[in-house]
Amino acid sequence: MLKVEEYKHQAATCVRCSYCKFPDLNYIKSSRFSRQCPIDTRYRFNLYSAHGLLHSALAELDGKLEFTPKLMDALWHCTLCGGCDIRCKRNLDVEVLQVIETLRCRCVEQGKGPMPEHKMLADNVKKSHNIYGADHKERLNWMPEDVKPAQKADILYFVGDPSSYRHPEIAQATARLLSQAGVPFMVLADEWSSGHELFATGQLELAREMADHNIKAIKDSGAKKVITSDAECYKTLKADYPKILEKSTEDMPYSVLHITEYVDQLMKDGKLKFRRRVPMKVTYHDPCNLGRLAEPWYHWEPKYEPPNIAVGKTWRRGYNGVYEPPRNILKGIRGIELIEMQRVWDNAWCCGYGGGVGTAFPDFALWTAGERAEEARTTGAEAIVSCCPNCKDILGQAAEAKKTGMKVYDITEIMLRAIR
Amino acid sequence: MSIPREAYQTLQSIVGTEWVSDDPAICEADRYCSLSSPSEEKRRPGCSIEPVSTEEVQAIVKVANRYKLPFVVTSTYYSAGTYCRKDDSILIDLKRMNKLEIDEENLYAIVEPGVVFSALQADLFKRGLCTFVPGCGGHASVVANTVNMGDAPLGWRYGLGYQRLLGVEWVLPDGEMLKMGSLSMSKDYFWGEGPGPDLRGLLRGCAGHQSRMGIITKIGVKVFPFVSEELEPEGWAFRSFIKLPPNRFKWYNIRFYSREDAINAMFELGRCEIALVVMTVPPIFRGVARTRGVGCGGFWEFWKDAGPKLNPKQMDLRVLLYGIGSDKRLEYEEKVLLDIVKEYGGSPREAPCRDETNFMAADAICANVVGGRFSSEVSYESINQAVRYSKVVDKITDEHRPPILQEYNSTDWVCPYELGYIAKMECLRMASVEDNYALQEWKNDCQDACAKGGAYALVPDNKVFGPIWGNYPEKEDKIRAAFDPNHVSAPG
Ligand SMILES: Cc1cc2nc3c(=O)[nH]c(=O)nc-3n(C[C@H](O)[C@H](O)[C@H](O)COP(=O)(O)OP(=O)(O)OC[C@H]3O[C@@H](n4cnc5c(N)ncnc54)[C@H](O)[C@@H]3O)c2cc1C
**Segment B271-301, tens digit of pLDDT:** 999 999 999 988 888 888 888 888 888 999 9
Helices assigned H by DSSP within B51-131: 54-66, 117-125
Interface touch B431/A310, C-beta < 8 Å:
no
Q: What is the CA radius of gyration of chain A?
A: 21
Residues B380-389: what's their mean pLDDT?
83
Q: Which of A34, A307, A346 has the CB atom closest to B405's CB atom?
A: A307
- CA B209 / ligand 1 centre spacing (Å): 11
In a domain, B476, yes or no: no
Chain B positions touching A302 (Cβ under 8 A) are: none
The number of distinct structural domains making up chain B is: 3
Find out whether the beta carbon of B205 lies less than 6 Å from any atom of ligand 1: no
Domain's final residue, options A90, A113, A136: A113
Question: Chain A, 116-155: which have a CB under 8 Å from a chain B CB?
Answer: none
Give pLDDT, residue B289: 85
In a domain, B123, yes or no: yes
Residues B353 and B407 in one domain: yes
Q: Which atom of ligand 1 is nearest to the CA of B368?
A: 1
Domain's final residue, options B225, B244, B268: B225
What amino acid occupies position A159? V
User: Which residue of chain B has the CA closest to A67?
Assistant: B25
Distance from CA of B78 to the nearest CA of A (A): 5
Q: pLDDT averaged over chain A?
A: 97
Domain's final residue, options B196, B225, B254: B225
Q: Which helix (H) or strand (E) holds B142?
A: helix B142-147
Instruction: Say which CATH number the domain at B41 has.
Output: 3.30.43.10
Residues A89 and A167 in one domain: no
The verdict on B16 touching A (C-beta cutoff 8 Å) is no
Residues B87 and B215 in one domain: no
Distance CA B181, CA B179 (A): 7
Q: Atom 47 of ligand 1 has which residue's CA nearest to it?
A: B211
pLDDT at B8 over 70: yes
Q: Which domain holds residue A100?
A: 1-113
Give pLDDT, residue B237: 75
- CA B421 / ligand 1 centre spacing (Å): 24
Residues B82 and B130 in one domain: no
Name which residue leads in pLDDT, A392 or B365. Answer: A392
In a domain, B450, yes or no: yes
Name which residue leads in pLDDT, A12 or B265. Answer: B265
Instruction: Say which CATH number the domain at B142 has.
Output: 3.30.465.10
Name which residue leads in pLDDT, B160 or A192. Answer: A192
Residues B12-40: what's their mean pLDDT?
88
Find out whether the beta carbon of B376 lies less than 6 Å from any atom of ligand 1: no
- Chain segment B198-227, per-residue pLDDT in tens: 888 888 766 667 778 999 999 999 999 999
Residues B339 and B276 in one domain: yes
Which of B14-23, B452-461, B464-473 has the least mean pLDDT? B452-461
Residues A40 and A159 in one domain: no
A vs B: CB pairs below 8 A: 186
What amino acid occupies position B45? P
Q: Which helix (H) or strand (E) holds A393?
A: helix A389-401
pLDDT bracket for residue B35 (50, 70, 90): low
Name which residue leads in pLDDT, B388 or A285. Answer: A285
Residues A222 and A355 in one domain: yes
Q: Which of A12, A29, A310 has the CB atom closest to B122's CB atom?
A: A29
Domain's final residue, options A46, A81, A113: A113
Residues B294 and B205 in one domain: no
Dihedral of CA atoms B169, B170, B171, B174 in degrees, nearest 10, equals -140
Residues B69 and B155 in one domain: no
Q: Which domain holds residue B72?
A: 5-93
Instruction: Say which CATH number the domain at B416 has.
Output: 3.40.462.10
Q: Tell me which residue of B121, B328, B370 sits closest to B221, measured CA to CA.
A: B121
Find out whether the beta carbon of B92 lies less than 6 Å from any atom of ligand 1: no
Distance from CA of B340 to the nearest CA of A (A): 33
In a domain, B178, yes or no: yes
- Chain segment A195-253, per-residue pLDDT in tens: 999 999 999 999 999 999 999 999 999 999 999 999 999 999 999 999 999 999 999 99
In a domain, B491, yes or no: no
Residues B235-254: what's their mean pLDDT?
92
- Chain segment A289-326, per-residue pLDDT in tens: 999 999 999 999 999 998 889 999 999 999 999 999 99
- Chain segment B309-344, per-residue pLDDT in tens: 988 889 999 999 999 989 999 999 999 999 999 999
Residues A32 and A132 in one domain: no
Domain's final residue, options A113, A135, A159: A113
The verdict on B241 touching A (C-beta cutoff 8 Å) is yes
pLDDT bracket for residue B1 (50, 70, 90): low
Find out whether the beta carbon of B82 lies less than 6 Å from any atom of ligand 1: yes
Residues B309 and B244 in one domain: yes
Burial (CB < 10 A; 0-12, 13-18, 19+), residue B201, is: exposed
CB count within 10 Å of CB B17 equals 10
Residues B219 and B238 in one domain: no
SS3 track for B380-408: EECHHHHHHHHHHHHHHHHHCCCCCCCCC
Residues B418-442: what's their mean pLDDT?
84
Find out whether the beta carbon of B211 lies less than 6 Å from any atom of ligand 1: yes
- CA B45 / ligand 1 centre spacing (Å): 19
Burial (CB < 10 A; 0-12, 13-18, 19+), residue B96, is: middle
Give pLDDT, residue B448: 83
pLDDT bracket for residue A35 (50, 70, 90): very high
Residues B298 and B355 in one domain: yes
Domain's final residue, options B93, B115, B148: B93
Residues A203 and A136 in one domain: yes
Residues A232 and A285 in one domain: yes
Interface touch B77/A30, C-beta < 8 Å:
no
In a domain, B479, yes or no: no
Residues A136 and A94 in one domain: no
Q: Which atom of ligand 1 is nearest to the CA of B426?
A: 8
The number of distinct structural domains making up chain A is: 2
Q: Give the mutation target among B40, B78, B158 for probing the ligand 1 site: most ligand atoms within 8 A of CB.
A: B78
Sequence-distant (6+) residues with CB within 8 A of A328 are A264, A267
Give pLDDT, residue B288: 86
Question: Chain A, 7-36: which have a CB under 8 Å from a chain B CB?
Answer: 9, 12-13, 15-19, 21-22, 24-31, 34
3-state class of A225 per DSSP? strand
Question: Are A64 and B400 spatial neighbours (Cβ–Cβ below 8 Å)?
Answer: no
Residues A275 and A408 in one domain: yes
* ipTM tops 0.90: yes
Give pLDDT, residue B458: 66
In a domain, B480, yes or no: no
Give pLDDT, residue A250: 97
Give pLDDT, residue B39: 67
pLDDT at A263 over 70: yes
Residues A93 and A144 in one domain: no
CB count within 10 Å of CB A338 equals 18
- Chain segment B139-180, per-residue pLDDT in tens: 999 999 998 878 888 999 988 888 899 999 999 999 999 999
Residues A97 and A140 in one domain: no
Question: Are B150 and B144 spatial neighbours (Cβ–Cβ below 8 Å)?
Answer: no
- CA A112 / ligand 1 centre spacing (Å): 37
What amino acid occupies position A293? L
pLDDT at B468 over 90: no
Interface touch B118/A19, C-beta < 8 Å:
no
Question: Are B3 and B69 spatial neighbours (Cβ–Cβ below 8 Å)?
Answer: yes
Residues A360-388: what's their mean pLDDT?
98
Residues B249 and B383 in one domain: yes
3-state class of A370 per DSSP? helix
Residues B269 and B414 in one domain: yes
| Cα end-to-end span (Å), chain A | 46
Q: For residue A69, is the peptide bond before it cis, meaning its omega torsion is within 30 degrees of 0?
A: no
- Residue B72 bridge partners (DSSP): B91
In a domain, B487, yes or no: no
Interface touch B365/A19, C-beta < 8 Å:
yes
Residues A52 and A121 in one domain: no
Instruction: Say which CATH number the domain at A26 has.
Output: 1.10.1060
pLDDT bracket for residue B439 (50, 70, 90): confident
Residues A99 and A137 in one domain: no
Residues B123 and B73 in one domain: no
Give pLDDT, residue B206: 62
User: Which residue of chain A has the CA closest to B367?
Assistant: A91
Distance from CA of A18 to the nearest CA of B (A): 6
